[in-house]
Amino acid sequence: MAELDKREIRRAVKAAVLAIPAERKRRASERIASAVSRHISLSGARVVALFSPLPDEPMISPLVELLSERCSVVLPRVEGDVMNFYPYACGGMERGSFGIMEPQGGMAVEPQAIDLIAVPGVAFTKNGVRMGRGKGYYDKYMSQEGFRAHKIGVCYAEQVLDELPAEPHDIMMDSLIYE
């Protein structure tokens, strides 16, 4: 499918997400965060990669504090063309690329150390196809040698579509959590 089609999909999904009432987003985000937490508990993951949400993504931020008491939580930091994950430290977050809260300092975690990763996206299909924002940060990261984490797509129900264009470099999700 052409890049123009991807732009159209991104535009349409963004409009659908913007139309979600704030209270519904809040409730959906709570249920999504709860489902992610249950999934992590059942998986026995010791190193969990989460994300600092943008305004149009489920607000899973409360999970960071909650989970950091039972496992190692790592968050992304964009560094030029690449994204790496760094350990979360309370008080060690600053606005970084794209206005997203990012961990500062510390050493990047090796991709093979991550057991489970929650992945945001613009749109998903129930069978695991993911469409990101177009920069490829997550696809590049998850395609690194040794990366083995269970990949969970996280989104609102309005972001789940019947089909999406997929490129050979696109990384499929293992599961999807949405409300």
Residue 124 pairs in a beta bridge with 130, 160
* Arithmetic mean of pLDDT, 46-50: 98
Q: Is the pLDDT of residue 178 over 80?
A: yes
Domains of the chain in sequence order:
3-178 (3.40.50.10420)
Query: What average pLDDT does this structure show over 90-99?
Result: 88
**Residue 91 banded pLDDT, cuts 50, 70, 90:** confident
Task: Please give the mean pLDDT across all residues of the chain.
Answer: 95
Q: How far apart are CA 26 and CA 33, in angstroms?
A: 11
Output the DSSP codes for 55-108: TTS---HHHHHHHHTTSEEEEEEEETTEEEEEE--TT-EEE-GGG-EEE-SS-P
Q: 107 CB contacts (<8 Å, ≥6 apart)?
A: 86
Per the model's pLDDT, the better-predicted residue between 50 and 98 turns out to be 50
Q: With cut-offs at 50, 70 and 90, classify the pLDDT of residue 1.
A: very low
Give the whole-angstrom CA distance, residue 38 versus residue 65: 15
- For residues 152-170, give the mean pLDDT: 96
- Distance separating alpha carbons of residues 45 and 36, to the nearest angstrom: 12
Summarize the confidence of residues 44-48 as an average pLDDT: 97
